[in-house]
Amino acid sequence: MRWERQPGLRRPLLVVAFEGWNDAGDASSLALDYLAKAWKAERFATIDAEEFYDFTVTRPHVQVGEDGRRQIEWPDIELLGARVPGSNHDLVLVRGVEPQLRWRTFSQTLVEVAAAVRAELAVILGALLADVPHTRPVRVSGTTDDRDLAARLGLAASTYEGPTGIVGVLHDALRSSGVPTASFWAAVPHYVHQLPSPKAALALVERSSALLGAPVDPMELRTAALDYEREVSERIADDDDAAAYVAQLEETSDTDWPETSGPEGLHIGGIDELASEVEKFLREHPRQD
């Protein structure tokens, strides 16, 4: 762990997104990068890649610097601090490739970061491939291990049993240290998994900013989402079988997921109401350091 400075943030929330298995359509990493850009986040620390990566899987890159010399760029995890105007909370953003090694040690490192900045809540963003059409609103599922938080925000209390990944390990480590955690997962159409999905990223950005009660201007992502939907539709139109399959998904989606129902497992109220519920929860569950 390399600290460059103390970020000096107000009651920060920790927001984490990993590239890799948890990042279908690059949606969660795109969302985190957009939040970082919108709120002018600045790096204050990095986690050294040496302990946590298999470099035959996540390879370092060679780049040529301004002086003409070749240099190695290592895939470190970056921690960025962002002051959020109009909110009671600032942000600590954690971004990088999903670590392959020593997950318990890595998670404990983030627990120590959360303690050092006195983070009050951790939110982990992810995206998964699913049988959903690209023409419908993005489904965002919210889960948490904290039943009180689940009740406050209308999240699903997690009952999953089985193999887990770094997200599950990190959830457990943070919760055990006294930091409540939640996850937001965006569904990405599996038949266009090779394309980055700004549409799913937009859904995660809107949900994350709603937690803070400080909406960002997502115009750039909205434009990219419209372009994405148009490009996919043009590809599908050239294939009769694909078009029939998407039409079937649309019919199923409209039946099982009416537009008026809101995202699965998430509070349906407005931004102010959601942020108010978060604030009530944090007041009733202060950090026990």
Q: What is the CATH number of the domain that holds 111?
A: 3.40.50.10900
Does residue 185 sit within a domain?
A: yes
Residue 249 domain-assigned (yes or no): yes
239 occurs within a structural domain: yes
pLDDT at 92: 97
CA dist list (Å): 286 to 111, 120, 153, 281 = 16, 7, 17, 9
Residue 289 falls inside a structural domain:
no
The CA-atom distances, in angstroms, between 253 and each of 130, 188, 261 are: 12, 13, 12
Distance (Å, whole) CA 187 – CA 254: 15
289 residues of the chain, pLDDT tens digit each = 899 999 999 999 999 999 988 899 999 999 999 999 999 999 999 999 999 999 999 999 998 988 888 999 888 899 999 999 888 899 999 999 999 999 999 999 999 999 999 999 999 999 999 999 999 999 998 888 888 888 877 787 777 788 888 888 999 999 999 999 999 999 999 999 889 999 999 999 998 888 877 778 899 999 999 999 999 999 999 899 999 999 999 999 888 764 433 334 444 445 566 778 888 888 877 766 5
Residue-range definition of the domain harbouring residue 9 = 2-284
**Cβ neighbours for 256, distance < 8 A, ≥ 6 positions apart:** none
Give the per-residue pLDDT at 264: 42
